[in-house]
């Protein structure tokens, strides 16, 4: 089973656990309806679209509303700490939440004590919490953007807003150095997929692969196009691809879906995700070992 | 600071929400107080937060102004003289990208894209 956990920027969503589906343009789990184009929702939507194409069991999602006061995030961490052993996911993805380092430590401890260790993926607030708590290497994949890799490269930073000035001012040409520094500091997951103008896939301090094409510059302006990569890589890992291959196919899919969508800066990420089936149909057999026609 | 001049005692105003921190910065600057945006000490951090550093001698005035303007504060800390907090550079490093009908404003890992002319925000991104 794949479990995706994260907060939703809607204070009316209670802590909800259930198998997710798409209904009339919204995600639905255990009767709760939430947006598919923001943060955790965009990531879930991307994972679901991929998993549906691959005809796998749809993900279980654990979501809760949090508009920044941290109440929902605390509920989310607490539920996971108490129940991760019983939930026993094969792939566990943690996404937007307040980066509460003490609770992330407890969660990693609970996972360590579980009967089964899941494949662990973190992005957004969960990635910040893991890095800030010194637990990044507990995770198998992290998917930082260029500002977030600078954060991972800064041994003292506990949040991307607080990174050292020289890193804050860096341009994208420094990303390879920052990747190396993140691994050296122990602030990286086992594999990093750095999302940006060039996508970098790196492990053990070395860049294994870069993906640059197609280059759709408009995607940078569209909120959620980084979240979709996290959803894609999670789904491909769940489908059985090796992490490195999952990351490469995820990066290629996101870019090609962007090209297919012919976006403007006002395009919503849902329109990009809607192109995934066409991309899979045309390229997935060529790009990967998972091939469903 | 010129060599030999004793370092001034500093205070730190910390907030529950970044909204109050940003509004606090605005009203204190409007009132003529000299303040600096800094990262709160680690034990006060909850995530995307911000603290305001100012001279310890101006704390009473700042507290009164914030109270009058209904800006909620979490705490006021008086810092040892040698404390060095990390400055927050977000507001200094705003970059813009021009598209034919839209402008994207990037600040750190946060982006807002708006339509030229109307100012309507069409996309937001980042923030973690």
Q: Min CA distance, A54 vs chain B (Å)?
A: 28
Q: Is A137 on the interface with B (CB under 8 A)?
A: no
How far is it, in rounded angstroms, from Cα A54 to Cα A56? Answer: 6
Inspect the interface and report whether the beta carbons of A162 and B125 lie closer than 8 Å.
no
Residue from the list A99, A147, A221 with its beta carbon closest to the beta carbon of B104: A221
How far is it, in rounded angstroms, from Cα B40 to Cα B50? Answer: 6
Are B44 and B15 found together in one domain? yes
Contacts of B122 in chain A (CB under 8 A): 265-266
Is pLDDT of B46 > 80? no
Between strands B102-107 and B94-98, the pairing is antiparallel
3-state secondary structure of B83: coil
Residue B38 lies in a domain: yes
Domain end marker among B40, B55, B79? B79
Q: Is A153 exposed, middle or buried (0-12, 13-18, 19+ CB in 10 A)?
A: buried
Are B45 and B24 found together in one domain? yes
Q: Min CA distance, A231 vs chain B (Å)?
A: 15
Inspect the interface and report whether the beta carbons of A68 and B89 lie closer than 8 Å.
no
Q: Is A225 on the interface with B (CB under 8 A)?
A: yes
Percent helix, strand, coil in chain B, to 5, is 25, 35, 40
Q: Which two tokens stand for residue B52?
A: 């305001």
What was the pLDDT predicted at A280? 96
* CB of A258 closer than 8 Å to CB of A271: no
Residue from the list B88, B93, B123 with its beta carbon closest to the beta carbon of A169: B93
Domain count, chain B: 2
Residue B2 lies in a domain: no
Segment B9-21 mean pLDDT: 81
Cα dihedral sign, B71-B45-B92-B11? positive
What was the pLDDT predicted at B12? 87
Helices A39-53, A227-238: inter-axial angle, 10-degree rounding: 40
Q: Is A266 on the interface with B (CB under 8 A)?
A: yes
Q: Min CA distance, A291 vs chain B (Å)?
A: 32
Are B58 and B14 found together in one domain? yes
Contacts of A50 (CB under 8 A, 6+ apart): A231, A232, A235, A236, A239, A253, A276, A280
Inspect the interface and report whether the beta carbons of B108 and A224 lie closer than 8 Å.
no
Segment B22-36 mean pLDDT: 90
Half-sphere exposure of A203 (CA within 13 A, CB side): 13
Span B67-99, pLDDT tens digits = 999 888 888 888 766 666 655 555 556 778 899
Q: Min CA distance, B44 vs chain A (Å)?
A: 11
Segment B42-53 mean pLDDT: 69
User: Which residue in the block uniquely carries the two structure tokens 């789990």?
Assistant: A29
Closest to A162 measured CA to CA, from B24, B47, B106, B36:
B47
Rounded-to-10 torsion of CA B67, B71, B74, B77: -60
Q: Min CA distance, A146 vs chain B (Å)?
A: 8
Contacts of A162 in chain B (CB under 8 A): 39, 86, 88
Inspect the interface and report whether the beta carbons of A125 and B99 lie closer than 8 Å.
no
Residue B84 lies in a domain: no
What was the pLDDT predicted at A67? 85
Residue B3 lies in a domain: no
User: Which residue in the block uniquely carries the two structure tokens 């490093």?
Assistant: B93
| Domain of residue B102, residue span | 90-126
Q: What is the pTM of this model?
A: 0.83
B95 bridge partner residues: B106
What was the pLDDT predicted at B2? 46
Q: Which two tokens stand for residue A54?
A: 């691959």
A93 bridge partner residues: A4, A121
Contacts of A68 in chain B (CB under 8 A): 17-18, 48
User: Which residue in the block uniquely carries the two structure tokens 């890193």?
Assistant: A167
Residue B30 lies in a domain: yes
How far is it, in rounded angstroms, from Cα B103 to Cα A221? Answer: 9
Chunked mean pLDDT (size 10), chain A, 293 residues:
96 96 96 94 97 96 91 96 97 93 94 96 93 93 91 79 61 88 95 95 94 93 94 97 96 97 96 97 88 63
The fold adopted by the segment(s) A2-287 is 3.40.1190
How far is it, in rounded angstroms, from Cα A287 to Cα A285? Answer: 6
Q: Which two tokens stand for residue B27?
A: 């009203």
Inspect the interface and report whether the beta carbons of A221 and B113 lie closer than 8 Å.
yes
Q: Min CA distance, A11 vs chain B (Å)?
A: 15
- Name the residue in chain A with its Cα closest to that of B46: A100
Inspect the interface and report whether the beta carbons of A159 and B48 lie closer than 8 Å.
yes
Q: Min CA distance, A164 vs chain B (Å)?
A: 8
Cα–Cα distances in Å, from B55 out to A65, A226, B5, B81? 38, 41, 15, 11
Buried b (16+ CB within 10 A) or exposed e, B77-104: bebeeeeebbebbbeeeeeeeebeebbb
Q: What angle do CA B10, B16, B52 make, to 5 degrees?
A: 25
Inspect the interface and report whether the beta carbons of A223 and B125 lie closer than 8 Å.
yes
Q: Is A68 on the interface with B (CB under 8 A)?
A: yes
Residue from the list A125, A161, A221 with its beta carbon closest to the beta carbon of B111: A221
What was the pLDDT predicted at A47? 98
Backbone angles phi, psi at A172, to 5 degrees: -70, -15
3-state secondary structure of A11: coil
Inspect the interface and report whether the beta carbons of A128 and B47 lie closer than 8 Å.
yes
């Amino acid at each position: 089973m794949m479990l995706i956990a994260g907060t939703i920027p809607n204070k009316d969503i209670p802590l909800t656990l259930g198998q997710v589906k798409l209904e009339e343009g919204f995600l639905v789990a255990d009767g709760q309806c939430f947006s598919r184009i923001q943060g955790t929702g965009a990531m879930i939507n991307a994972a679901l679209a991929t998993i549906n194409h691959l005809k796998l069991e749809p993900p279980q999602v654990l979501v809760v509303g949090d508009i920044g006061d941290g109440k929902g995030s605390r509920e989310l961490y607490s539920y996971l700490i108490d129940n991760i052993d019983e939930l026993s996911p094969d792939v566990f993805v943690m996404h937007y939440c307040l980066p509460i380092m003490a609770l992330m430590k407890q969660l990693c401890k609970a996972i360590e004590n579980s009967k089964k260790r899941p494949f662990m993926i973190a992005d957004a607030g969960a990635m910040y919490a893991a890095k800030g708590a010194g637990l990044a290497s507990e995770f198998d994949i992290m998917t930082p953007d260029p500002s977030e890799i600078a954060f991972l490269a800064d041994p003292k930073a506990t949040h991307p807003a607080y990174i050292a000035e020289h890193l804050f001012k860096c341009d994208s040409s420094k990303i390879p150095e920052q990747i190396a520094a993140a691994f050296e500091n122990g602030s990286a997951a086992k594999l990093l997929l750095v999302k940006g103008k060039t996508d970098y896939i790196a492990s053990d301090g070395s860049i294994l692969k870069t993906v640059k094409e197609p280059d759709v510059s408009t995607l940078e302006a569209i909120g959620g196009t980084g979240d979709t990569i996290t959803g894609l890589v999670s789904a491909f890992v769940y489908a059985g691809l090796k992490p490195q291959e999952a990351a490469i196919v995820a990066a290629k899919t996101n870019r090609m879906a962007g090209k297919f969508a012919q976006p403007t800066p006002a395009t919503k990420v849902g329109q990009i995700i809607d192109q995934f089936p066409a991309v899979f149909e045309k390229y997935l057999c060529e790009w990967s070992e998972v091939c469903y026609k | 600071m010129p060599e030999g001049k004793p370092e001034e005692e500093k205070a730190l105003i910390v907030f529950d929400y970044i909204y109050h921190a940003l509004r606090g910065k605005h009203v204190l600057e409007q009132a003529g107080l000299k303040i600096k945006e800094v990262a709160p000490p680690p034990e006060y951090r909850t995530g995307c937060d911000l603290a305001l550093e100012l001279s310890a001698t101006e704390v009473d005035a700042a507290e009164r102004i914030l109270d009058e303007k209904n800006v909620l504060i979490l705490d006021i800390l008086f810092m040892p003289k040698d404390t060095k907090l990390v400055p927050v550079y977000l507001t200094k490093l705003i970059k813009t990208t021009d598209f034919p009908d839209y402008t994207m404003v990037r600040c750190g890992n946060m982006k807002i894209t708006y339509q030229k002319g109307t100012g309507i925000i069409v996309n937001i991104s980042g923030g973690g």
